[in-house]
Structure 1
Amino acid sequence: MKLLALLLGLLCVTIIHGQPKPGYNLDLKQIPLRWDEALPLGNGWLGALIWQKENKLRISLDRVDLWDDRPMPQIDRLTFKWVQQQVAKGEYDTVQKIGDWPYEQNAAPCKIPGAAIEFKMPDASVVSASLDISNGISSVIFSNGIRFGSYIHASKQEGYFGWTEFDPSLIDSFLPSLIPPRYQAEQAGSPKDGGSLSRLGYEQGKITKGKNSLRYHQPTWGTHYYEVLIEWVNIYNKKLVGAWTISVDKPASLHKIDTAHSEYTDMRSHLAWWKDFWDRSSISIPDTLLERQYYLDMYKFGCVARSNAPPISLQAIWTADDGRLLPWKGDLHHDLNTQLSYWPGYTANHTDLTAGFTNWLWKVRAENKRWTQQYFGVEGLNVPGVSTISGKPMGGWIQYAMSPTTVCWLSQNFYWQWRYTNDTAFLRERAYPWVRDAATYIVNLVRKRDGNYYLPLSSSPEYNDNKISAWFSDWTNYDLSLVSYLLQTESIMARALNRPRDAQRKRLEELRMALPSAAVDETGLLMAPGVRMDHSHRHMSPYISLFPLKNLHVVAKAIKNDTTVIANSFRHLERFGT
């Protein structure tokens, strides 16, 4: 009985502590004046930014699958074999013209903006602008008592806003305006910094006004389109409550705001979702500033990830609201960005949300296999390092945008999803087949030389940028560590499933045993044999075997003292101030 009481007491403490402290909320004295400093809301599908633009209260609206997914011109002309030939001849500008330049020269494919809602500001000063991260509700309070609130429902593709405590005679002044992107503006700026939305070539969409609604229909590429719908109700001249949504390739619709019930917008289920989110884990560390930052970032993770949503892109559901095309096209970067975006979810007990990434990788595997065959010329599975929402290649700096080892790092997400859930069905039906296809691709791509296996060309993000010198004939420590990790992961999964040691597994074991040792000298881990990192480098890619792969003991098999290698590597990093 005492043990039961103790366990129940601990459970209560855990649940209470799981909720973020009120002091971790965003509590401001004024409304943010920039879109990139706004109060963020989201549910994995829809996103909103609350800020002030000039004299208007603005809600920037976004949706995760708002994409112009047209094919990148010339991308299928590239093959890895041809790239190898051009590198060998020292004629790399020909590769850059086809593989790198189109990414900057063409406006699309890219993520595209949605629209915005604007309201006239009350004739009063702002007392506070806040975001409660425990429930994803933002509010603005004015000196005359008027209040504004907004949230995006955690499990419905709808966002809500409301005004209260105003003079009933002023209700019309709080009606929303729909502000569409300017797809017909004059061209401005360079491709690198975004440039005008008019480069997409769209006709400007149309707004249809109803009695208490606004609908925006925007044609995009080809026969595609999206719609933004806003609806609102006047509740006894005391409250103005509205809803909004965005749809892609279908008419937008909203659930009716039911004024007959006190809970107009189904907030109860929204609050329950966020309570469950925070109840799943917590941290407590002496550094309160760092602890607050953790909770703020976990709030953002709760906003951007869902099991059925596309993955987290460069700006996720908070597309830049500056009237321009997005920097780096708002695409999916798999040489660090997507992987790190999901890291917090595994240890924080949010594997329901991290599943969104592996679900998407599984969904686009047919396209990825097609590209693997077309570009690398072998059977199996690789993933473009820079891709569209449908998994298609976009090019860019092809050493990384078309890296031969992207799939190896992504295999870690399948491995972690399995290990953190202990889901044997997931391992059997998705994780192992995906990893096996990836390993098949690698074993088909490598070539034997002097008793060891090597890639035809190797690289390390983003060392030497897109120059010919960014290609290496020997293994980079980055690529070597990743391939070793993939083969080790395949072996662990196969043993867990009691898979027979067939001919393919024997090939993989032979490859694993015949990989060279990592390149090391007195400065620690190198970029590649004989190549030290000679400047500050944001990716720290030579050190991937230290973390997150944690396989230095495997890849540095010729090294007797791992501790010395690690210490020397850190000293070398500190020398450059990285």
Structure 2
Amino acid sequence: MTGRTCKMPSEKHDLHFQEPVRRWDEALPLGNGLIGCLVWGDGLQLRLSLDRGDLWDKRVAPETLDSGFTYANMVKLARNGEQDELARRFDHFYSKCPYPTKLPAGRLELRGSAAAKQMESRLSVRHAEAEVNWLAEGRSYRMTTFLHAETKLGYIRLEGEHVHALELTLVPPDYAGIAAEREDKLSNFNISLTSLGYPCADLGSEGETRWFYQRTNHGLEYAVIVAASGKSDHVMEFVYTVAANLDGVSWFEDARLKVRAAAEAGYEEALPSHRAWWESFWSQSELTLPEFQFEKQWYLTNYLFASCSRKGAPPMPLQGVWTADEGNLPPWKGDYHNDLNTQLSYWHYMKANHLQEGESFIDFLWGLLPQARAFAARFYETSGINLPSVMTIDGNPLGGWPMYSLSPTNQIWLCQAFDHYWLYTGDREFLETRAYVYFKETAECLLGLLHPGEDGKLCLPVSSSPEIHDSSLQSWLTPNSNYDLSLIRYLFTRLEQMAELLEETVDRQRWTGVIDQLPDLAVNETGLMISPDESLTVSHRHHSHAMAIYPLRLLDYRRSDADKQIIDRTVYHLETLGKGFWVGYSFPWTASIYIQQGNGEAARYHLLQFWNYLCSPNGFHLNGDYKHTGLTQARYRPFTLEGNMAAADALQEMLLQTNGGVIRTFPAIPADWLKSAVEFRRFRGEMGVLVSAKITGGHLEYVELYAERGGSFLVENRFQADEVLLDIDGSVTALQCLNESEFPVELKKGETCRIIR
């Protein structure tokens, strides 16, 4: 693309606090995809709460192995209204049995003799380096720390005249229940770590290397290892890691040697390669916005994403690599929720052009194919694939409200991750060998469940819509709910289109036949209904009935008056019902729905509400109105990440839409942004095109396309002129094109086209 210096995050984008951070969910977050660290404390104790993405207690709840744990039994009990038996067989053990669960790693603590009288901390978003400066008992201290982007090592550097008076202590998770009650235990998820039945960790040391070694009562063993190096009277350095027997036979000895060698080499030796990785990451895309809070949140969210999602590491579960440090199991056991959370967490990365980081999710799902086949066979008693909607890192069910935790259509929402990857990269091999395969095997499972109803149309035996009516008997809706039907229609429509591209004629005819047997979406004066005989009547957190608008885009605001009317009525009805029972992620999802109308003002308003009232000072999505502003009735603060990523996706959709093969720049930005300058660079569009654009003073200044793959790209003319100039690598041509119509740009692989008036 046109040569220019990449815009990197600056100090303005940093997290900056001028008082002690007293809670783990307000801490400075560091991460390298596998290991995470939260920096917080008051100087008397400066804590580094550690996590590792693959630390799991994977013991299965016995109830999931029972012969009655089947879809057929769930359907029978739901139809018979046997609520108590449904709860016993499929739900109650989720909260009663502590495992399976994500596990915290432990802590490093720097202990001084007094709390800080002054403290200032900063997280460099550009360099992924945290800095804390504090004054205690007249002595000043400085700590800098980072988790290396490409190794499993963390680095700490301490400076101060009396730095050797600070004690670094290793603190294992409190599996034995011997620690004092935590003052910051506010999550409302109160299953203690002691319920897991683990022994106390073993403490050990050898020279300047120390560790705690945590055994469990199942196969996992892990250790936090730290080595010290005194660089001078006023400087101390430490290197640490979280190692596990998942790393190989000689994992413990290998980790100790690695930490010791890194400590001897020192902090400054490791820093350049760490920073180089982050510089490369930030060069992938950029934006400049007149409302700085939006720009800062976009950079911060991409920082969080890269910190907890990397190729070769597990994808982010609910809390990424920052499992709750409260002495309890993490909220919702830190699991993989496939009825919204995993999907929203991987909404934005394609357009942000961070392919490798997002491939973690694709690789994870592909690697679970054997488990997905086994679960489809055992639970659904079908061929094909299906994963539990609430699952462990190895794809086993945790239980929970069965209408959602064991809904077969949530698997279709997982399919969209493969669809997006194919569409945004244009990688035909991926389409043929992965996306189509994943879709087709999912379809085989669904076809084993669908049957003709009284009207001859295909329907599921039972239906639901996350999380309408919570876990009551009312939650079993008349098939098909719009949620289920939207996903089923999406599945077979995309299969038909993929089969046509791949020239799979027999398959295409099969998928067309299924589509012809599907009913229409349920619609009335309120817009999209919940199910054929029920409309949404109360405010609700999960906009599951509106899936056809976003993210599935089965309805298109520009395509027809009928679609436009349904979308308008659905939005108006959401406005009428209000936000009383929303949670954090509801706000960016609503923003995305408004964007489909081209309503940038409403999108902006809902994103601001999300960031201002439902996120921690460090940016973490806390789900509830923890400030008690009256925005919603949810007052809790369980940290999860999907809301952050959904908000970044909505912001990107305000600036660029490429769905349907048409590139539309600035389709939904607020009016006052138009008066200033708005620019994005290297956002990824469909079929492997990178798009840059700038609007200044209400006029589109340029659009630039770079083709990773050769092809024809349709661009909507938003230049307020009937002629545009196309500069393809120095060759300029004029093109007649009516304003707001579409024109094609033919590019070979590696070519750049700059479009101006």
TM-score under structure 1 length normalisation: 0.92
More strand by share: 2
Change (3 A) 1:116 1:422: same
**Distance in 1 separating the partners of 2:398 and 2:144:** 39
1:221 aligns with 2:217: yes
Query: Cα distance, 1:190 vs. partner?
Result: 13
1:305 aligned to which of 303, 309, 320: 309
Identity %: 33
**Distance in 1 separating the partners of 2:113 and 2:278:** 31
Change (3 A) 1:288 1:510: same
Alignment of 1:37-116 (within 5 A): 37-52=26-41, 55-77=44-66, 78-116=69-107
The aligned counterpart of 1:118 is 109
Query: Cα distance, 1:265 vs. partner?
Result: 4.3
The aligned counterpart of 2:123 is 131
The aligned counterpart of 2:204 is 208
Amino acid paired to 2:110: F
Secondary structure of the residue that 2:506 maps to in structure 1? coil
Query: Cα distance, 1:210 vs. partner?
Result: 2.4
**Distance in 1 separating the partners of 2:531 and 2:46:** 53
The aligned counterpart of 2:491 is 486
Query: Cα distance, 1:256 vs. partner?
Result: 4.1
1:334 aligns with 2:338: yes
1:290 aligned to which of 291, 294, 300: 294
2:476 aligned to which of 462, 471, 479: 471
Alignment of 1:188-337 (within 5 A): 193-249=189-245, 250-251=251-252, 252-253=255-256, 254-257=258-261, 264-337=268-341
Query: Cα distance, 1:21 vs. partner?
Result: 3.0
Secondary structure of the residue that 1:146 maps to in structure 2? strand
Change (3 A) 1:248 1:464: same
Amino acid paired to 2:512: E
The aligned counterpart of 1:448 is 452
Alignment of 1:131-210 (within 5 A): 131-143=123-135, 144-164=139-159, 166-167=160-161, 170-185=162-177, 193-210=189-206
1:544 aligns with 2:547: yes
Contact 1:104 1:192 in 2 (8 A): no
Contact 1:129 1:141 in 2 (8 A): yes
Secondary structure of the residue that 2:93 maps to in structure 1? helix
Secondary structure of the residue that 2:364 maps to in structure 1? helix
For residues 312-363 of structure 1, give each alpha carbon's deviation from its aligned partner in whole angstroms, at most 9, with x where no partner exists.
1111111111111112101010111111111121100001111100100011
Query: Cα distance, 1:303 vs. partner?
Result: 0.6
Amino acid paired to 2:15: L
Change (3 A) 1:190 1:97: farther
**Distance in 2 separating the partners of 1:194 and 1:506:** 53
Contact 2:336 2:390 in 1 (8 A): yes
**Distance in 2 separating the partners of 1:470 and 1:574:** 23
**Distance in 1 separating the partners of 2:206 and 2:148:** 24
Query: Cα distance, 1:553 vs. partner?
Result: 5.9
Alignment of 1:19-30 (within 5 A): 19-30=8-19
Contact 1:107 1:191 in 2 (8 A): no
Change (3 A) 1:192 1:468: farther
Consecutive unaligned residues in structure 2, runs of 5 or more: 246-250, 580-757
**Distance in 2 separating the partners of 1:495 and 1:313:** 35
Query: Cα distance, 1:494 vs. partner?
Result: 2.4
The aligned counterpart of 2:562 is 561
For residues 118-140 of structure 1, give each alpha carbon's deviation from its aligned partner in whole angstroms, at most 9, with x where no partner exists.
11247664342100001110001
Contact 2:154 2:239 in 1 (8 A): yes
The aligned counterpart of 2:502 is 497
Secondary structure of the residue that 1:561 maps to in structure 2? helix
The aligned counterpart of 1:524 is 527
Change (3 A) 1:255 1:495: farther
Secondary structure of the residue that 2:347 maps to in structure 1? helix
**Distance in 2 separating the partners of 1:494 and 1:154:** 40
**Distance in 2 separating the partners of 1:242 and 1:263:** 8
Query: Cα distance, 1:575 vs. partner?
Result: 1.1
Contact 1:351 1:420 in 2 (8 A): no
Superposition CA RMSD, Å: 2.3
**Distance in 1 separating the partners of 2:263 and 2:437:** 51
The aligned counterpart of 2:703 is none
For residues 3-47 of structure 1, give each alpha carbon's deviation from its aligned partner in whole angstroms, at most 9, with x where no partner exists.
xxxx7xx5324x1x2x12321111111231111100000011000
Consecutive unaligned residues in structure 1, runs of 5 or more: 1-6
Contact 1:443 1:507 in 2 (8 A): no
Contact 1:186 1:198 in 2 (8 A): no
The aligned counterpart of 1:514 is 517
2:418 aligned to which of 414, 427, 436: 414
**Distance in 2 separating the partners of 1:570 and 1:385:** 27
Amino acid paired to 1:546: I
**Distance in 2 separating the partners of 1:508 and 1:324:** 48
For residues 269-294 of structure 1, give each alpha carbon's deviation from its aligned partner in whole angstroms, at most 9, with x where no partner exists.
11111111111111222221122112
**Distance in 2 separating the partners of 1:127 and 1:183:** 32
Contact 1:298 1:344 in 2 (8 A): no
How many correspondences in the alignment?
Answer: 559
Amino acid paired to 1:111: K
For residues 48-104 of structure 1, give each alpha carbon's deviation from its aligned partner in whole angstroms, at most 9, with x where no partner exists.
000006721110011001110001221133111111211222222211101000101
**Distance in 1 separating the partners of 2:379 and 2:12:** 52
Change (3 A) 1:262 1:11: farther
Contact 2:43 2:111 in 1 (8 A): no
Amino acid paired to 2:148: H
1:433 aligned to which of 432, 437, 440: 437
Query: Cα distance, 1:566 vs. partner?
Result: 0.8
Contact 1:43 1:304 in 2 (8 A): yes
1:384 aligned to which of 374, 388, 391: 388
**Distance in 2 separating the partners of 1:383 and 1:574:** 34
Change (3 A) 1:536 1:451: same
Amino acid paired to 1:539: H
1:344 aligns with 2:348: yes
Amino acid paired to 2:27: A
**Distance in 2 separating the partners of 1:257 and 1:238:** 22
Amino acid paired to 1:204: C
Contact 2:384 2:444 in 1 (8 A): yes
The aligned counterpart of 1:4 is none
Contact 2:376 2:386 in 1 (8 A): yes
**Distance in 2 separating the partners of 1:91 and 1:286:** 56
More helix by share: 1
Change (3 A) 1:55 1:97: same
Contact 2:225 2:259 in 1 (8 A): no
Contact 2:478 2:532 in 1 (8 A): no
Contact 1:233 1:257 in 2 (8 A): no
**Distance in 1 separating the partners of 2:149 and 2:263:** 21
**Distance in 2 separating the partners of 1:260 and 1:399:** 55
**Distance in 2 separating the partners of 1:426 and 1:194:** 43
Amino acid paired to 1:274: W
